[in-house]
Amino acid sequence: MSIPFKKKGLPEIGELVVAQIKKVFDYGAYTNLLEYENLQAFIPWSEVSTKYVKDIKDILKEGQVVIGKVIRVEKKQGRIEVDISLKRVFEGEKKVKMLRWKRVQKAQKIVEIAAKNLGKTLDEAYKNAWIFLEKNIDPMALIEETVLKGPQEFMKIGINEEWAKALYEEAKKHITIKMVRIRGVAKLISYKPDGVEKIKGVLIEIKNKFKRDDINLNIYTVGAPRYRIEIEARDYKVAEEVYNQIATFLKDVAQSIGVDSVELEREELEKG
């Protein structure tokens, strides 16, 4: 449950935090805040549930992980006191926070292993990698994007090349990006003496014109005059949009440059 890179400082009032129950008493429960460095929080008896609770030990168990909302942060005689509430956390908030917590754990694990692969310490990992990743509300989303696009995505946020490559290589072992694939077969015929070159020109123009960072576009020969056009994207709507744009381009442009017959037949939709 522990993570290698914890937040320093104090949480803010209203912030959602991940807490592990340490000790339960009749008047409340003491917890460790798992995202923060050496920081505890107290859950008052009155903040455990919106319903009447006869014995909070029936609800809270030692070792249990809960999501709380910070309701008090105070410094007293050199001590820091933090109170959190469970009853003020909506069910939707709880689910989102728990999901983000699990994704932070996974992201930090990738960074930790990458550091080990490089022979670096956790302090070096924090200074060279995590300090940049943690600025994102969902570091795992950035890591997933990098698996799709390459280590340069890490370098864009300030991570140096050595760490970017190490993180990328490790992330690929842990992440499988689900893709949507749309395919169609284009039948292109030209009776002109230079028809082959004209068709090749159309296909090259499609590759260049519809190249985007959020898709993979491949065109290859099935057997002349049939050419498969394949679009991969993480979002079905994006893949569909590009496919329709290519269909329109073939219809409007191909004949105008000397391709006599143009047909585009949609194939199956694949996910995976």
| Residues 195, 164 share a domain | no
pLDDT digits over 61-89, tens only? 999 999 999 999 999 888 999 999 999 99
- Mean pLDDT within 144-160: 93
Report the CATH number at residue 96.
1.10.150.190
Q: What phi and psi values does residue 171 have, to the nearest 5 degrees?
A: -60, -35
pLDDT at 272 over 70: no
- Model confidence, pTM: 0.70
Q: What is the pLDDT of residue 218?
A: 93
Whichever domain contains 58, its CATH number is: 2.40.50.140
Q: Which residues make Cβ contacts (< 8 Å) with residue 141, sequence separation at least 6? A: 103
Domain-embedded: residue 7 = no
| Cβ(69)–Cβ(85) below 8 Å | yes
6 within domain boundaries: no
pLDDT of res. 77: 82
Query: Which of 5-19, 26-40, 137-151 bottoms out in mean pLDDT, i.e. has the lowest?
Result: 137-151
- Asked, for residue 10, whether it belongs to a domain, the answer is no
Q: Which residue range forms the structural domain that includes residue 213?
A: 180-271
Q: For Cα atoms 103, 21, 52, give the angle at the middle one, nearest 5 degrees.
A: 110
Going by C-beta distance under 8 Å and a sequence separation of 6 or more, which residues neighbour residue 82?
10, 11, 33, 39, 40, 41, 42, 70, 72, 73, 74
Residue 4 preceded by cis peptide, ω within 30? no
- Least confident interval from 20-24, 158-162, 235-239: 235-239
68 and 135 share one domain: no
Q: Both 166 and 186 in a single domain? A: no
Determine the average pLDDT of the residues in 160-180. 93
Q: Please determine, for residue 235, whether its predicted confidence score (pLDDT) is greater than 80.
A: yes
Q: pLDDT at residue 29 above 90?
A: yes
With respect to residue 5, please indicate whether it lies within any of the assigned structural domains.
Answer: no
pLDDT recorded at residue 262: 85
**Residue 255's pLDDT band (cuts 50, 70, 90):** low
Same domain, 100 and 153: yes
* Pair 83, 96 in one domain: no
Which of 8-12, 13-17, 187-191, 265-269 is the least confident region?
A: 265-269
Percentage above 70 pLDDT, the chain: 97
As a three-state string, the secondary structure of 69-81 is EEEEEEEECCEEE
Predicted confidence at residue 9, as pLDDT, reads: 92
In a domain, 4, yes or no: no
d(CA 71, CA 260): 72
**Residue 260 or 79, more confident:** 79
Summarised one tens digit per residue, pLDDT across range 97-135 is 999 999 999 999 999 999 999 999 999 999 999 999 999
Write the pLDDT tens digit of every residue in 204-223: 999 999 998 889 999 989 88
Task: Check whether residue 203 and residue 227 sit in a common domain.
Answer: yes
Q: Are 84 and 19 in contact (CB under 8 A)?
A: yes
Query: 14 near 69, Cβ under 8 Å?
Result: yes
Averaged pLDDT, 25-33: 96
Number of domain units in the chain: 3
Q: Report, in this order, helix, strand and coil percent for the chain, each rounded to 5.
A: 40, 30, 30
Q: Name the β-bridge partners of 219.
A: 229
CATH number of domain containing 250: 3.30.70.1130
pLDDT of 140 reads: 94
Q: What is the CB neighbour count within 10 angstroms for residue 174?
A: 15
Both 58 and 111 in one domain: the answer is no
| Backbone phi and psi for residue 183, each to the nearest 5 degrees, phi listed first | -130, 150
Helix (H), strand (E) at residue 157? none
Residues 100, 76 share a domain: no
**Residue 135 DSSP code:** T
**Res. 201 pLDDT band, cuts 50 70 90:** confident
33 alpha carbon, distance to own chain's centre: 24
Q: Which of 132, 157, 174 is the last residue of a domain?
A: 174
Residues 131 and 73 in one domain: no
